Amino acid sequence: MSAPAPLAGITVVEFTHMVMGPAVGHILAGLGAEVVRVEPIGGDRTRRLMGSGAGYFPMYNRGKQSICLDLKSEEGLAVAKDLIAGADILVENFRPGALDRLGLDYDSCATANPRLIYCSEKGFLPGPYENRTALDEVAQMMGGLAYMTGPPGQPLRAGASVIDVTGGMFGVIGVLAALEERHRTGKGQKVTASLFETTIYLVGQHMAQYAVTGTPAAPMPARVSAWAIYDVFETRDDPVFIGVVTDALWEKFCALFGLDELWADESLRENNARVQARDRIMPVIRDLVGGMTAAEVIAKLDGSGLPFAPIGKPEDMFDDPHLNTGGLEDVTLDNGTPVRLPTIPLEMGGHRIGAPQHLPQPGRDARAVLAGLGYGSARIDALIEGGAVGESE
Of 20-29, 108-117, 221-230, give the lowest mean pLDDT range.
221-230
pTM of the model: 0.94
pLDDT at 1: 58
User: What is the mean predicted confidence (pLDDT) over 113-122?
Assistant: 98
Structure confidence by residue, pLDDT tens digits, 301-351: 999 999 999 999 999 999 999 999 999 999 998 888 999 999 999 999 999
Looking at per-residue confidence, does 119 or 355 come out higher?
A: 119
* 5 has a pLDDT exceeding 80: yes
Please give the CATH architecture assigned to the domain spanning 225-311. Answer: 2-Layer Sandwich (3.30)
Task: Say how far apart CA 237 and CA 290 lie, in whole Å.
Answer: 9
* 392 has a pLDDT exceeding 90: no
Beta-carbon neighbour count of residue 55 at 10 Å? 14
Structure confidence by residue, pLDDT tens digits, 42-81: 999 999 999 999 999 999 999 999 999 999 999 999 999 9
Structure confidence by residue, pLDDT tens digits, 152-204: 999 999 999 999 999 999 999 999 999 999 999 999 999 999 999 999 999 99
Averaged confidence pLDDT in the chain: 96
pLDDT at 334: 81
DSSP 342: E
Structure confidence by residue, pLDDT tens digits, 203-259: 999 999 999 999 999 999 988 788 999 999 999 999 999 999 999 999 999 999 999
Task: Say how far apart CA 199 and CA 79 lie, in whole Å.
Answer: 36
pLDDT at 225: 84
pLDDT at 3: 87
Task: Say how far apart CA 344 and CA 164 lie, in whole Å.
Answer: 16
Structure confidence by residue, pLDDT tens digits, 254-292: 999 999 999 999 999 999 999 999 999 999 999 999 999
Known catalytic residues are 164
Rounded to 10°, the helix 195-213/162-185 angle is: 100
Task: Say how far apart CA 358 and CA 334 lie, in whole Å.
Answer: 7
pLDDT at 335: 85
Contacts of 229 (CB under 8 A, 6+ apart): 242, 243, 244, 250, 253, 274, 281, 282, 285
What are the angstrom distances between the C-alpha of 271 and each of 216, 277, 331, 336?
Answer: 22, 10, 47, 55
Question: How is the chain split into domains, by residue range?
Answer: 11-202+326-390, 225-311
Q: 272-295: b or e for each residue (b if 16 or more CB lie within 10 Å)?
A: eebbeebeebeeebeeebeebebe
11-202+326-390 belongs to CATH 3.40.50.10540? yes
Task: Say how far apart CA 4 and CA 133 lie, in whole Å.
Answer: 37
* 2 has a pLDDT exceeding 90: no
